[in-house]
Structure 1
């Protein structure tokens, strides 16, 4: 333990106490606080999360449009559990140690969304069976489920306003997608559900674009760079 402390003191990273980190008098962070932040060696998991989200969203959205006369979305269950769910959840957990609270919150939240949605569709969960054929009550329950995620997405849209144009478009389209799908369930409107499917397809391709941009940015030898419309930082 003593040897470990000596290594910290000799290097460029200095350990500080919680009291020093919070500030002894006025609660402000001291200038040395930045030295206590240990740089993460975790690679950027953003592309993994975005590609996983985009692929699962694209598949479900095509089902909502009733592509090739598909009326049951259950084939998406596997994707929702492992790709949209598990892969996104892992991406979110890897974002937190990198200091990206926004990415960690977004990926973890939507990973949980896909897992919970898949659980509803799995017959063995008994969730749909509990409604005992009452389709109207089931639709209302799904509508409230989707309204809740509309609110979560809208809050993330607010947080994305100072990120870049790519993220703003992504969360803006995702917000209206959830809203349209919620309206489709609550109003028993097939047209609203189909509109949500079309909006979901657009959302998926925006997510693909942002994910590819982040992937290319992380590669030093990448020939092509995709702009995201990053806002310049304000100088106080």
Structure 2
């Protein structure tokens, strides 16, 4: 019986595009360009969560543990954030909104900071552009922890806002590079060689 080889496209471009869109929209709110989070939620669910979850599933099929863990981990982050916003807005009931303790969200941010730090080390074996994205994700979570725990709220909020915008811009570049370099069969947009570690 003849074996059939199933080829799966690299999902990096889609995963990074999802990250780019959600962080662009979310950073607009943090920077004060837009207000509230009601219309951030759809982009968080569909681009931040579902697009990255789909990329994670495809990376699992490609036996890419790093990509599957990165995209999957952040997909579930955006699912969690979306549900948090829905609770805070009272969509799931006033009683639930009144019982919300923002410091619990702060502990989730600490957990994601730990996750992002060791994923940053892993990203060094992929490319310099991906490593930069992870460094700004680390800074984003540091900012979120500082502001959520009211340690240095103004500085933390600003750090989170500008880091999130830079994550978006770098992710757009990374997504474009993944698509165009593959499509043209040559390096149109360099992403930087992995670090020698």
TM-score normalised to structure 2 length: 0.88
> What is residue 65 of structure 1 aligned with on the other side?
31
> What is residue 107 of structure 2 aligned with on the other side?
144
> What is residue 130 of structure 1 aligned with on the other side?
96
Q: Is the 8 A contact 2:24 2:165 kept in 1?
A: yes
Does residue 48 of structure 1 match 2:48?
no
Map 1:86-97 onto structure 2 (within 5 A): 86-97=50-61
- Deviation by residue 1:142-163 (Cα, 9 ceiling, x = unmatched): 2112111111111110111222
Gaps of at least 5 residues in structure 1 are 9-37
Does residue 111 of structure 1 match 2:75?
yes
Measure, in 2, the Cα distance between the counterparts of 1:201 and 1:58. 6
Distance apart, 1:220 and its partner CA:
3.0
TM-score normalised to structure 1 length: 0.74
Aligned residue for 1:124, secondary structure, equals coil
- Deviation by residue 1:9-58 (Cα, 9 ceiling, x = unmatched): xxxxxxxxxxxxxxxxxxxxxxxxxxxxx864111111110011111011
**CA distance 1:129–1:75, shift in 2 (3 Å):** farther
> What is residue 181 of structure 2 aligned with on the other side?
217
Gaps of at least 5 residues in structure 2 are none
- Higher RCO structure, 1 or 2 (CA under 8 Å, sep 6+): 2
Q: Is the 8 A contact 1:81 1:118 kept in 2?
A: yes
- Deviation by residue 1:78-126 (Cα, 9 ceiling, x = unmatched): 1111111111101110111112211111111111111111011113345
Measure, in 2, the Cα distance between the counterparts of 1:221 and 1:156. 28
- Which of these two proteins has the greater Rg computed from alpha carbons? 1
